[in-house]
Structure 1
Amino acid sequence: MSGLGETAKRLPRAELYVGGRWRAAADRGVQTVINPSTGQPLSTLSMATADDVSAAVAAARAQFETGEWSRLSGSDRGRLLWRLADLVEANRENLAYLEAIDIGRPYFEPFMFEIPLAAETFRHFAGWADKIGGSTFDLPEFDGRQRHSYTLRQPIGVVGAITPWNAPTMIASWKLGPALAAGNTV
């Protein structure tokens, strides 16, 4: 990885990712992201409006109701979350670099802490994905018949997650990991 002392190249413009597609904000609004360490522009981002958020929630709801994720077994969700952790680790240098120039912190912090902890968080919840189940209880007999009761834990739907500016990759993993492990869409 090259040093952060070099001038960072301008990153491509980032659009909104909604319903499996990249798109501009409804009002075409944008925001320039500045490297706080240098004051230089890094990229231009589409700024989501309330209409964009509504469209994202509707797309996530449609995916939840008709898509595969909420219907995958816990084992399959766990394998995919484990794969996500592998990808985070494989791209550790790039992710750490992007996080460092985005929030103006020394490269070693996201490289040594936030990015590895994000991967570890995804692995933790990957391990829980096939253990999210219900409980079965034997109840007292009634009218000469044994009774049973059970609980069933199922995905509940769309999870909205807001991440702060500090340690965004790690904190996003704290929200994405449990939501995805449980079969929800985000």
Structure 2
Amino acid sequence: MRSINQIIRGIAISATLALALPGVAHAGQKDNAQRAIAEARGKISAGDSIGASGEALGLQTRAKATLNDAEYLLSKGKKEESVAAANQAALLADQAIAMTSNNKNAAASAAVGNAEAAAASAQQSAAVAAEQAASANARADMAMQAPAVAPTPPTTTTTTTIASATPMAAPVVKQTTQKKTYRKSTQKPAVKTTTTVTTNQ
């Protein structure tokens, strides 16, 4: 009998474990989903702090939307789908961080290149200025060593204009006398017209 009791006890323990293990497994999946969501949230926060822009900003926005989906799925009890969505959100956030980092490195490299080009241009300008100064000093030294040459007086041309006064004739003033013309007026005598009206009665 002893072996039957041991067998029954073993079956009871196995049944109890079989019923308890799925709950433990489900609790483990929920913890996994929460860990994946926390990891994705941390990566998204890191992406926000470094200042994503351009295409990286689009990836960051998609990561946030996918994280919201993962949280919704976990609240509905879909733990496996929640873990997958959280992992996708973390992947998108990683891509956004990498792209932002690459963009910043490229911008920094371009700034360094521009600064180096400006420095080279400034050095070249300084070299040209030094060469011009040396040339001017050499000309000044040569001018000091050369004997002084008296300057030739400039040729001047003098033009004298003599104005002769010619008497001008006084303007001729014509005096005119106006004649008054008198005309005799010829008036016609007034004609007297008479009209006689007769009425018959």
TM-score by length of 1: 0.24
Q: Which has the higher strand share?
A: 1
Larger radius of gyration: 2
TM-score by length of 2: 0.23
Q: Which has the higher helix share?
A: 2
Higher RCO (CA-CA < 8 Å; seq separation 6+): 1
